[in-house]
Amino acid sequence: MAPASVTRSLLGYGLLVGPFYLALGVGQGLVRDGFSFARHPLSVLANGPGGWVQTANFVVSALMVLAAVAGIARVDAERSRGMRTALVVYALGMLVAAVFRTDPIDGFPPGTPLGTPTTMSTSGLVHLVAGAMTFIAMAIACWAGARTMSKRGERGLSRLSLFAGFVVFFAFFGGAAFSSSAGGVAGIWLAVVVGWAWLAIVSRYFYRVSPSPSC
């Protein structure tokens, strides 16, 4: 495969990873007994029968992010360094979250007591820290992306990246502060969707400016 084709193939994963992660997660949520989109984050799906699907979702999505990072590096390694570093941290956080699953919570899986648990396992604590790390890393990637786009003369994408970073950061931490409510869960969902959408937009931009495979 020609080098230009490799670059575009890698960047294609940045376009696909968000829809892949969300489609697989939402699909599980629709068929898993006891799961509620109003009360549960997708990560809780790693518990119970079939939990391996969400674990695999974390792993495959993290690898897709790393592929997109490699594609961005092939187009503009110097000016995208900060953005790429933050995205690598994001992907590593997802891998840690895959290994250390979150605790059952609020009736899921079936048989789990309703409400917020009063104790937390070591695995649940590590997952919580890894999750926070991923959202912070995504926000930083957006802000670093704003600088990258500014250096490339893309003012519109620079402003979009700056805005996306604030949405990811405040939606996640605002949602985490009220995670026991539907509004809190909605905030976390907003942070997830905006982060994936931003990565898709940036990957598409680098895809468009990368050399054509025919060149």
The whole-number pLDDT of residue 119 equals 87
CB atoms near residue 19 (< 10 Å): 12
Place of tokens 């829809």: 19
pLDDT digits (tens, 9 = 90+) for 18-68: 999 999 999 999 999 999 998 888 999 999 999 999 999 999 999 999 999
pLDDT digits (tens, 9 = 90+) for 135-162: 999 999 999 999 999 999 999 999 999 9
pLDDT band at 1, cuts 50/70/90? Answer: very low
pTM of the shown model: 0.91
The whole-number pLDDT of residue 178 equals 61
CB atoms near residue 211 (< 10 Å): 14
Q: Helices 3-31 and 51-75, interaxial angle, to 10°?
A: 160
Place of tokens 């020609």: 2
Is the pLDDT assigned to residue 117 strictly greater than 90? Answer: no
